[in-house]
Amino acid sequence: MREFTISRTTIAMLDPIPQAPLPHTDRLPDPYRAEAGVLADRLAALDGALDWAAVKAQAAPWVRAVRENPPPFWALERLLTEYPISSDEGQALMRLAEALLRVPDTETAIALTADQLGRADFDGASDAAMARLSSAAIALSKRCLSAEGEAPGLVARVGARSVVAATLRAVQLLGRQFVLGEGIEDALRRAEAGQRAQPRLRHSFDMLGEGARTEADAADYLDSYRQALEAIARRADPARHPSLNDGLSIKLSALHPRYEPAQHERVMRELVPRVWTLCERAAQASLNLTIDAEEVERLELSLDVFEALVARVGRECPRWEGLGLALQAYQTRAVELIGEVAAIARRHGVRLMCRLVKGAYWDSEIKRAQELGLAGYPVFTRKHRSDLSYLACASALFDAADAVFPQFATHNAGTIAAVLQMARRRGTARFELQRLHGMGEGVYREVLREGSVGCRVYAPVGAHRDLLAYLVRRLLENGANSSFVHQLADESVGLDTLLESPFARCAGEEGGPAFAPPTRLYGAARPNSEGLDPAVAAHREALATAWRQAAVPLVPEARPDEIAPAVRRAVEAFEAWNQRPVAERAAVLRRAADAMQARLPPLCALLVAEARKTWPDAIAEVREAIDFLRYYAAEAERLLAPLALPGPTGERNTLRLQGRGAWVCISPWNFPLAIFTGQVAAALVTGNTVLAKPAEQTPAIAHEAVRLLHAAGVPAAALQLLHGPGDTVGAALVAEPAVAGVAFTGSTPVAKAIQRALAAQDGPIVPLIAETGGVNAMLVDSSALPEQVADAVVQSAFRSAGQRCSALRLLCVHESIADGVIEMVRDAAHALVVGDPSDLATDVGPLIDAEAFAGVARHLARLRATAVALLPEGEDGATHTVAPQLFEIREVSEASQEIFGPVLQVLRWRGDPKAVIAQVNALGYGLTLGLQTRIDSRALALAAQARVGNVYVNRNTIGAVVGVQPFGGEGLSGTGPKAGGPHYLPRFCAEQTLSVNTTAAGGNVALFSA
């Protein structure tokens, strides 16, 4: 492993660019506005702009020619029509393509291959070369490997190795279709050969790889971009316009490990100078340097970076017209974005290049909007709408020809013909077409036969290891049923379908989202809580306003003599509250949820101020509280409805649940709103009254939640807040004999103390629901993707400064990939911003108080004496902040204590992963477990073996969502039932069966009339 000090030579030497104040707010409309309205605008703007019959007439011969005379590599397209990615075989192929090449050890490669091929049926594949190879690999594997995916006996193992080798070759071949060369020189040579055959061909090279997770990654990328530029520049003619030379495409996420909207200031300070060095070189050689389009959340940030660069081009090399930006037509703001880019060009007196694409991250944009509970989707939800938007954008680009040189990147014959028609109508030839290497070859062979239009090929360069993520994107694109290249290869798709007018399709529909908006994710009966997107300026402003107005009210402590009367009042209020129909109590909860939703920004501000939460954590917490209220309202109506039970004739048997009495709810400071609200709501909606004791550190948030519940209709005596220390107020409440139940979330020792206190009482046996901590582990095998692991680990271990019971405490990495993974985790953790949580840029806020800080400091002193510290010390007693800490240990058993802070322990494992899980089980906790593996059968087997409440595969281990990932553990981690799950409410209830002899008042009428 490298030493901690990262060589930053290439980065540190750059001069900072003085920043002109940039308008990084409200450049663009709300990305989440209604899709229907946007679509209507686009249709109106394009009215009469195209004659689709003529478009079709031009494109149809291209399609026929490609089908009659397919280009080389057509086998892949055929393979994917035979095995669509939605089929088991397609999935297997994609998963192997994503993972197999990076697995370093044979055992895992065998297990992965068997796992994926074992479930698929490749028999009878077409005789195309690719399919033959795959079929051969699969057929062989079926003979040699067991379906379970674990290494079989010795003889079979020899066979298994051959299967893996054959499959590897198949995947490499897949990769080679999309990559022009392993190195830039190699790629340039191949590009030149292509240019000799077709002189109007240009290239834009792309250096493959995952986005940078660390400064070292960013430095490596910068070097590889520079080397590529040098090589391209050597072959370019600086006297020519950049559209006539080859160029380079770059990803800003590769050049900075924190290329995120929240890190705006740092990105502008550090990233812009890096990119500028590339601009300078591209300008000298008159090359086209294009910034690729990435996720929507980075759009506004990318515009700010872009404008800073354009401003400097304007000052230092205004004659260079080669700086470019890729724009995604699937974004609902795409047309406005083009207007903004043109405005930037005009503002700084520079001409730019603009590559129009449809967009490559559609599925992840949909998922992010759903996860954040946003008001809508930032992308169109139907493919033909993106096609239409593309044409509206094309028109806008032609209109902005004074400022930008349009570059149209698509493989869709209809889209290409439409763009050509637009150009003809305007009498312009000042544009180019673009395609990806390995895609659209057939169509472009035909398109380039006539006319003089130029075509640029986006040409990925890199070793096999680096192409995996790119390969998966391309397979998705080639394999999706709706994709043009997929349909082109499928001869059963007729010309009318293939070249159907997007106008006709869009005009004929109502325009709303194709599937439920994020707020309706759980159906109409339970609205999803709505979130905010900190990447959007207007949303950030709502938080900033709330912050300016935030005040933390002083909540008086309950005096000892107030406890017993409060319990008495709660007991007296029980009867009436329990008698209220469940629908009424549920309605009260829903009103409280709506009130919280309406007050989301001020509640977030209170969480930041009192609980020292970061803004993203605060938003997630308010949403969780809202979800608890709505979920338990719905669950109560379902569960508390009388249940008719079968029995003998002449009798009616029903079971019903009802409240038990007065409950004590004791909640922690780490989720002072969500856990507090969850406990209280569950107790109330089932008919109980509540004595709520919040954590001493966070009474104001609890006070606000209680105020909202009272305002929503909970009687004052049915919910009373009793703030004060646990050992006085908490202990006194638990000791009250009239208490009917206790819900507690907190540490294991306090839970045990409560259990003992309850057991010591005479009288009824009082139920206790306890949710406590955990020593949560994550097991990573060698099929896992290190970048995905690093993201998941950093979030799980260090978000909320590690102050979550679900936080990752122990990372177990397979020895064959441990060096790289540990280094990446370490450097990514070191790149986190530690500090004031009210600053949006802060990742790791302070620990909750001096006591918590002292506790973590004690553990750190112990670990520094017994384990290998991998990160520098970073405790600050004045602010109670602790910078992320990473220690390497040797045995699972060394991590037996829960450290409630940003402290992660890591160890290397070898051999059988089941043995690791057995050791984790032996720690006695049972809350969360993370598994990172591409071997599905292994993930399932390990999950079944693990004695934990929540298992997360190939993702982070925090942020359980109400009703989606019910949360809670076993063993030392708690009693269950899981919060936010279907079994939670019954624990708060007494059960009663009602058996009525229906014949007592006469005969058995039911039997006679049956």
Catalytic-role residue among 506, 665, 805, 812: 805
Q: In the range 880-909, which residues lie near ligand FAD by CB under 6 A?
A: none
Which region, judged by CB under 6 A, interacts with ligand FAD, from 39-47, 481-489, 767-775, 841-849? 481-489
Contact call for residue 382 and ligand FAD (CB under 6 A): yes
403, two tokens: 């400022």
Give min distance, CB of 463 to ligand FAD, in A: 21
Give min distance, CB of 341 to ligand FAD, in A: 14
Contact call for residue 380 and ligand FAD (CB under 6 A): yes
Can you spell out the DSSP letters for 836-852? -TTSTT-SB---SSHHH
Can you spell out the DSSP letters for 433-463? EEEETTSSHHHHHHHTTSS--EEEEEEEE--
Neighbour count for residue 763 (Cβ, 10 Å): 8
Selected binder of ligand FAD within 202, 358, 585, 591 (CB under 6 A): 358
Question: Closest CB to ligand FAD among 410 and 957?
Answer: 410
Contact call for residue 388 and ligand FAD (CB under 6 A): no
Q: Helices 88-99 & 468-479, crossing angle to 10 degrees?
A: 160
Contact call for residue 330 and ligand FAD (CB under 6 A): yes
What's CA 13's distance to the chain center, in Å? Answer: 35
Neighbour count for residue 134 (Cβ, 10 Å): 30
Contact call for residue 357 and ligand FAD (CB under 6 A): yes
Contact call for residue 412 and ligand FAD (CB under 6 A): yes
Site string for ligand FAD, 683-722 (x = CB under 6 A): ----------------------------------------
Give min distance, CB of 307 to ligand FAD, in A: 18
CB 465 within 8 A of CB 168: no
Nearest of 723, 726, 727 to residue 691 by alpha carbon: 723
Locate the DSSP E strands across 566-687.
643-645, 651-659, 662-666
Give min distance, CB of 487 to ligand FAD, in A: 8
Site string for ligand FAD, 413-452 (x = CB under 6 A): --x------------------xxx----------------
Task: State the distance between the two ends of the chain, measured CA to CA, in whole angstroms.
Answer: 81
Task: Say how far apart CA 791 and CA 511 lie, in whole Å.
Answer: 36
Question: Closest CB to ligand FAD among 326 and 717?
Answer: 326
Give min distance, CB of 360 to ligand FAD, in A: 3
Half-sphere exposure of 987 (CA within 13 A, CB side): 21
Give min distance, CB of 476 to ligand FAD, in A: 8
Task: Give the pairing type, strands 989-997 and 776-780.
Answer: unpaired
Question: Closest CB to ligand FAD among 204 and 519?
Answer: 204
Question: Closest CB to ligand FAD among 460 and 659?
Answer: 460
Q: If binding means CB under 6 A, how many residues of this protein chain bind ligand FAD?
A: 31
Contact call for residue 360 and ligand FAD (CB under 6 A): yes
Task: Say how far apart CA 103 and CA 106 lie, in whole Å.
Answer: 8
Contact call for residue 547 and ligand FAD (CB under 6 A): no
Task: Say how far apart CA 460 and CA 205 lie, in whole Å.
Answer: 6
Contact call for residue 7 and ligand FAD (CB under 6 A): no
718, two tokens: 């049915």
Locate the DSSP E strands across 885-1005.
885-888, 903-909, 928-932, 950-953, 989-997
Question: Closest CB to ligand FAD among 483 and 905?
Answer: 483
Contact call for residue 394 and ligand FAD (CB under 6 A): no
Task: Say how far apart CA 452 and CA 448 lie, in whole Å.
Answer: 8
Give min distance, CB of 322 to ligand FAD, in A: 16
Nearest of 629, 507, 612, 650 to residue 835 by alpha carbon: 612
Which region, judged by CB under 6 A, interacts with ligand FAD, from 131-139, 235-243, 360-368, 802-810? 360-368
Give min distance, CB of 296 to ligand FAD, in A: 10
Question: Closest CB to ligand FAD among 267 and 409?
Answer: 409
Contact call for residue 383 and ligand FAD (CB under 6 A): yes
Give min distance, CB of 42 to ligand FAD, in A: 13
Nearest of 342, 321, 272, 277 to residue 301 by alpha carbon: 272
Task: Say how far apart CA 593 and CA 607 lie, in whole Å.
Answer: 17
Q: In the range 800-819, which residues lie near ligand FAD by CB under 6 A?
A: none
Task: Say how far apart CA 173 and CA 376 lie, in whole Å.
Answer: 40
Nearest of 333, 245, 260, 334 to residue 290 by alpha carbon: 245
64, two tokens: 């026929």
Which region, judged by CB under 6 A, interacts with ligand FAD, from 166-174, 404-412, 615-623, 781-789? 404-412
Contact call for residue 483 and ligand FAD (CB under 6 A): yes
Contact call for residue 253 and ligand FAD (CB under 6 A): no
Contact call for residue 354 and ligand FAD (CB under 6 A): no
652, two tokens: 């009616």
Question: Closest CB to ligand FAD among 510 and 891?
Answer: 510
Helix H, strand E, coil C: the string for 877-905 is CCCCEECCEEEECCCHHHHCCCCCCCEEE
Task: Say how far apart CA 533 and CA 369 lie, in whole Å.
Answer: 9
CB 171 within 8 A of CB 101: yes
Selected binder of ligand FAD within 63, 326, 754, 903 (CB under 6 A): 326
Contact call for residue 925 and ligand FAD (CB under 6 A): no
Question: Closest CB to ligand FAD among 69 and 364?
Answer: 364
Catalytic residue status for 635:
no
Which region, judged by CB under 6 A, interacts with ligand FAD, from 168-176, 225-233, 257-265, 406-414? 406-414
Residues contacting 22, CB < 8 A, separation 6+: 268, 304, 307, 308
- Indicate the SS3 state at residue 379: strand
In the chain, what's the furthest Cα-to-Cα distance? 108
CB 184 within 8 A of CB 223: no
Question: Closest CB to ligand FAD among 412 and 957?
Answer: 412
Asked if the peptide bond before residue 977 counts as cis, ω within 30 degrees of 0, the response is yes
Give min distance, CB of 432 to ligand FAD, in A: 10
Catalytic residue status for 771:
yes
- Structure-token match 């192997």, residue found: 96
Contact call for residue 359 and ligand FAD (CB under 6 A): yes
- Indicate the SS3 state at residue 939: helix
Question: Closest CB to ligand FAD among 273 and 438?
Answer: 438
Site string for ligand FAD, 271-310 (x = CB under 6 A): ---------------------xx-----------------
Contact call for residue 482 and ligand FAD (CB under 6 A): yes
Catalytic-role residue among 107, 215, 446, 771: 771
| Active-site annotation, residues | 771, 805
The site for ligand FAD (CB under 6 A) is made up of: 292-293, 326, 328, 330, 357-362, 380-383, 385-387, 409-412, 415, 434-436, 458, 477, 482-484
